[in-house]
Amino acid sequence: MGKRSFRALWLMAFAAFALVAMGACTSMEKTKEQSTAAKLPVIEGATYVGSEACADCHEDVVNDFKHTIHGKLAGFELKANMAQGGACEACHGPASKHIDEEDPEYIINPANLSPQQQSAICLKCHTDGEVMDWRGSEHALNDVSCLNCHDPHGKKDAEAYRDKLGYKHKHVKDTQLKKPEPELCFTCHKDIMAKTNYPNHHPIKEGKMTCSECHNPHGSTVEPLLRTDERKNELCFECHADKQGPFAFEHAPVEEDCTICHDPHGSVADNLLKQNEPYLCIQCHGLHFHSAIQPNTDWLKQNGAKGPLATMPNGHSMQKIMTSRCTECHPSIHGSDLPSLSAPGGGSRLTR
Ligand code: HEC
Ligand code: HEC
Ligand code: HEC
Ligand code: HEC
Ligand code: HEC
Ligand code: HEC
Ligand code: HEC
Ligand code: HEC
Ligand code: HEC
Ligand code: HEC
């Protein structure tokens, strides 16, 4: 289903919701199913009165809310057609008793509910798209609720968010976030924040990229909350297509998982590498000498070498191996295609 038709469907769902009393709505089967997971409190004897009534005593909230997507979709213009239980009561439950008594006891205040109940309010309607995998997500399982990140009434945060980024971003919409990214995520993920300050990092703190471009904070079938339905590498290929191949000569760890060598959040080494060369490489490979280049015996001796290593003809290989990067001679570290003229083995050994 296209994004547009999905939106249209939602729009209809919301309109239906706004117009018909909660219990009588026929398209609410999912609602019942979802709300049984975390039961919401019931205000005995209360009925729906419509959002119009709220403005008398909660003018500020009403004014903020009018500008949100929820407010706009509900046709929130304080019209009479809201009289059967409109937008406010979609989250707060029927309000007649609250208004009669002017007593906060008789209205649902989500701030006083458990994280699971808070999310259940939103999940009455949001079960699809971005939020589809919420229930099994690390956030849901660790008592994070929708309200940790979203501001239900909207206080112009969305505009601040857009201004900050200054361009039309793939995922930036009027999503009523409590804080813009990445600050939102940093309130809880301090370790990741530290990494984004390392000399090498994806341009997140520069505002050119968001955490949620790589993660879906609502859940994913690929851990940890990655924004892809496929392998982790597929996420990287979305922006680094040149690393996808297919290559005539592949490098096994590259095929397996980019994060074997790269830390996506930041690194002290260049190129987001978890370690500098040659240490990165010698986790898996031995150091090698090349027939064309003899070891630097002086250097080896200074570094404690004995026996044959100390008596070989003098050269520069060992020093070169330890002080230069392996990728100076193996530049096609992600895989190579071109037949190489300069190295034995054609295009193999990732040398061209
Ligand atoms: C006649 C006045 C009046 C009307 C109308 C009214 N409220 Fe209230 N409401 C109050 C008062 C008084 C409080 C408690 C003090 C406060 O928080 O401002 C309150 C508090 C609340 C709270 C917080 C409850 C808590 O636990 O602190 C919510 C939520 C709320 N109202 C929702 C609504 C909604 C939704 C409507 C419209 C359907 C509505 N109110 C209409 C007077 C009213
Ligand atoms: C999308 C769900 C949702 C809708 C729709 C909604 N609210 Fe709320 N409301 C909440 C939540 C959640 C809280 C708890 C406080 C918080 O996290 O900001 C809250 C808190 C409140 C409070 C008490 C705290 C405060 O901010 O003063 C009042 C009063 C209130 N809402 C009134 C309203 C009115 C009036 C409307 C309609 C114009 C409305 N709400 C629409 C979810 C909603
Ligand atoms: C009565 C049904 C209903 C409830 C309850 C509800 N929403 Fe919505 N919400 C909608 C509809 C319909 C839309 C607009 C369609 C869309 O974009 O998904 C929407 C839009 C949104 C958007 C903006 C999406 C966008 O496209 O930019 C956010 C964010 C959101 N809701 C969060 C919440 C949160 C958080 C809660 C709980 C506090 C909540 N909603 C409760 C129906 C609801
Ligand atoms: C950890 C923070 C976080 C939590 C928790 C969270 N959200 Fe979001 N939500 C975001 C961010 C960031 C965006 C904007 C980026 C994006 O589009 O995913 C967003 C976007 C959305 C959107 C718009 C999606 C679209 O179509 O682009 C909806 C709807 C939404 N959230 C609903 C919810 C609901 C419902 C819950 C609880 C079940 C929830 N969110 C919990 C951070 C969060
Ligand atoms: C209210 C606190 C809070 C906020 C805000 C928050 N998170 Fe989380 N997040 C958690 C908790 C708690 C966990 C589960 C424990 C853990 O892994 O740290 C978690 C887990 C995760 C995981 C999965 C970690 C794993 O090992 O599986 C990712 C990815 C993640 N969060 C990304 C984000 C992003 C992106 C944002 C901002 C859009 C965000 N979080 C905002 C609290 C938060
Ligand atoms: C370029 C894509 C990308 C961006 C941007 C990104 N992440 Fe991640 N994140 C990943 C990948 C991939 C993993 C899995 C790493 C692994 O398996 O070693 C991950 C893992 C995580 C984890 C799990 C724990 C850990 O340390 O591995 C958390 C929490 C997390 N990211 C939060 C965030 C936050 C917060 C932001 C924004 C500041 C962010 N990520 C930005 C790709 C990204
Ligand atoms: C949404 C797009 C996007 C995704 C997804 C993405 N990247 Fe990037 N990546 C970028 C951008 C933008 C840069 C910065 C380019 C620049 O500064 O010229 C970058 C730079 C890099 C760099 C070079 C850093 C440097 O110091 O120059 C590496 C390595 C990298 N990404 C690895 C990854 C890996 C691994 C993944 C998957 C986990 C990934 N990227 C996913 C957009 C992305
Ligand atoms: C075996 C370790 C290793 C693996 C696995 C790996 N890389 Fe790299 N990557 C490197 C090294 C080393 C460099 C620095 C290359 C240089 O300096 O010539 C680099 C540089 C990069 C750069 C920045 C420079 C450039 O060539 O654009 C990007 C982007 C990048 N890698 C993406 C990826 C992606 C995407 C994957 C997964 C498909 C991946 N890498 C897997 C070792 C690795
Ligand atoms: C001075 C250039 C140079 C440097 C520096 C270099 N290599 Fe090589 N390497 C080569 C050449 C040329 C070959 C092909 C030799 C052959 O096929 O006999 C090769 C072959 C290899 C092979 C395949 C070996 C085999 O037995 O098939 C591996 C693995 C390798 N290098 C890893 C590394 C690592 C790891 C480093 C860094 C510690 C490194 N190389 C540094 C030039 C270099
Ligand atoms: C996680 C382990 C791992 C890391 C880290 C790693 N490699 Fe490899 N590399 C392999 C495996 C596995 C192969 C394929 C098996 C083989 O042919 O020996 C391979 C093959 C190679 C080859 C030989 C290709 C051929 O044609 O025979 C070269 C050259 C090479 N790696 C260089 C590097 C360099 C340079 C680095 C560091 C930037 C590096 N590797 C990091 C595991 C690794």
The torsion angle over the Cα atoms of residues 147, 150, 156 and 157, rounded to 10 degrees, is 120
Q: Is 333 in the pocket of ligand 8 (CB under 6 A)?
A: yes
Q: Is 73 in the pocket of ligand 5 (CB under 6 A)?
A: no
CA–CA distance, 16 with 167 (Å, rounded to integer)? 34
Name the residue with the closest Cα to ligand 1, atom 17: 104
Average pLDDT of each block of 10 consecutive residues along the chain (352 residues)? 41 41 36 57 90 89 81 54 61 94 96 96 89 95 96 66 50 69 94 97 91 96 95 96 92 97 97 94 82 60 71 57 77 81 54 62
Distance 240 CA to ligand 4 centre (A): 26
Residue 88 CA: nearest ligand 1 atom is 35
Residue 154 token pair = 């909207």
Residue 259's pLDDT is what? 98
CA–CA distance, 291 with 294 (Å, rounded to integer)? 7
- Would residue 166 be called left, alpha or beta, if left means φ above 0 and alpha means ψ between -120 and 50 degrees? left
Number of Cβ within 10 Å of residue 6's Cβ equals 12
The torsion angle over the Cα atoms of residues 248, 249, 252 and 257, rounded to 10 degrees, is -50
Long-range contacts of residues 66-75, Cβ cutoff 8 Å, at least 24 apart: 67/154, 67/156, 68/153, 68/154, 68/174, 68/176, 69/174, 69/176, 70/14, 70/152, 70/154, 71/154, 73/10, 73/11, 73/14, 73/15, 74/14, 74/15, 74/18, 75/15, 75/18
Q: Is 215 in the pocket of ligand 5 (CB under 6 A)?
A: yes
148, 258, 272, 302, 332 from 253: Cα distances, Å = 38, 7, 16, 35, 13
CA–CA distance, 319 with 297 (Å, rounded to integer)? 9
Nearest by Cα to 18 from 63, 70, 95: 70
Residue 314's pLDDT is what? 59
Residue 343 CA: nearest ligand 9 atom is 12
Q: Is 200 in the pocket of ligand 7 (CB under 6 A)?
A: yes
The torsion angle over the Cα atoms of residues 55, 57, 59 and 61, rounded to 10 degrees, is -90
Distance 233 CA to ligand 7 centre (A): 12
Distance 275 CA to ligand 3 centre (A): 43
Site of tokens 């090349």: 290
Backbone CA torsion sign across 57, 59, 64, 70? positive
CA–CA distance, 116 with 37 (Å, rounded to integer)? 8
Q: Which amino acid is at 304?
A: G
Nearest by Cα to 221 from 129, 123, 133, 143: 133
